[in-house]
Amino acid sequence: MPPSKAYPEFELLCLAVRPNRDDRRIRESLHQRIDYARLLALVEGHRVRPALIEGFSGQSRDDFPRDFKSSLDEFSHHHLVRTLTVSSELQRVARLFSSGGVQFASFKGPTLALSLYGNLAAREYNDVDIIVPERQMALAESLLISAGYFNGQGNRAFRQAFLSQQRQYAFSRDGAASDIDLHWDFSADSLPFPLEASRIWSNLISLDLGGQRIPILADEDLALLLAGHGTKEEWRSLGWVCDFATLVDRRPELDWSRIYARACRQGSGISVLLAWAMVKELLEVPVPPVLAAPIGQSRHVGRLAARLVERLRTTFPDQVERLPLEDGALCDRSLDRLRASLKVALTPTAGDHDAWPLPPALWPLYRVTRPVRLAAGLVLRAWRH
């Protein structure tokens, strides 16, 4: 179990996964009393094992316990094989969509590892994330199904009734290395997001993946995506902090004034400020002067960053309980948070159907029963605590 206050293993981890590591400071940190079992649990939970391996590459292997080295060596072997199989799955879908006339872009997963880190195995990932224009979503689904993929989330009517607010569906294939997460937007429809999906299509660039050109997000769009995704997920994983810090390090030419302005126009400028506050506090990445004042002047960003950093330092990722509307941190305006709360309270989900299965003709009743169910859940949680 993790201790109730910050522990040296997490501080060592932050030193090791920084884009510009300091081998001397890592060596000094290794001389502390390090619990290597805890360090392994942390690095696995935060999904930054490749970054840790690279971060420790400047140290002697004799400095580490045998079990620790063996565990990382075993991971490296299996991870390399998995990255190749997941990449093959992405190539398969890319060929399918290209031949079927579906416009698409890959984000996260293999293409993020290759474009940001320069190596398919330099980052942990499990799924293939693809976005298509909303108008082509039905065609993309049909192509996947014709190629042997299936959706285990119910038929199309069920998905539209209970899952469409998430703006993504998951598809699987027997024997496939990974699922396909098919998106038509980057966040739930109840919330603002710094990156507007409709704006990415004219900016796409391409990446060579095993001889096949794969469309990916332009750097400025990627910056907005990483800031928004981390904030939407309340920065529960150090891996997302590393991604943003690596982008900052590898793309020094980015215009952060323009990026921040774009996010503000979407009602989510806070996501960019919070991303920078996190990488500054955890990985010692200096904030660009153009953002220093907005970050310093926002008490909300300061309080939120302090809370999230403290949680990362003292809690294992799998022990963080996600509460309803935590992703309201994406909202710059209180009115947007209120609108999001109301929409979440009134929009039925698959959980409502699971709790009280009704035939399709009665599905509209869930708009009445859902607020009652949510209220009961909040009362029960408060009573337990």
Rounded CA separation 235/309 (Å):
9
Say what the pLDDT of residue 342 is. Answer: 82
Q: Which helix (H) or strand (E) holds 259?
A: helix 256-265
Rounded CA separation 236/326 (Å):
11
Q: Write out the two tokens for 340.
A: 């999001």
Helix (H, G, I), strand (E, B) or coil at 281: helix
Q: Write out the two tokens for 242.
A: 């590393």
Rounded CA separation 67/69 (Å):
5
> Domains (ranges, CATH) in the chain?
8-319 (3.30.460.40), 326-384 (no CATH)
Bridge partners (DSSP) of residue 358 are: none
Mean pLDDT for all residues in the chain: 91
pLDDT, tens only, 321-352: 665 545 678 888 888 888 888 887 788 888 88
Contact between 354 and 286 under an 8 Å Cβ cutoff? The reply is no
Q: Write out the two tokens for 14.
A: 């932050």
pLDDT, tens only, 83-128: 999 999 999 999 999 999 999 999 999 999 999 999 999 999 999 9
The predicted model scores a pTM of 0.91
pLDDT, tens only, 11-65: 999 999 999 999 999 999 998 889 999 999 999 999 999 999 999 999 999 989 9
Contact between 48 and 238 under an 8 Å Cβ cutoff? The reply is yes
pLDDT at 3 over 50: no
pLDDT, tens only, 54-67: 999 999 999 899 99
Say what the pLDDT of residue 345 is. Answer: 79
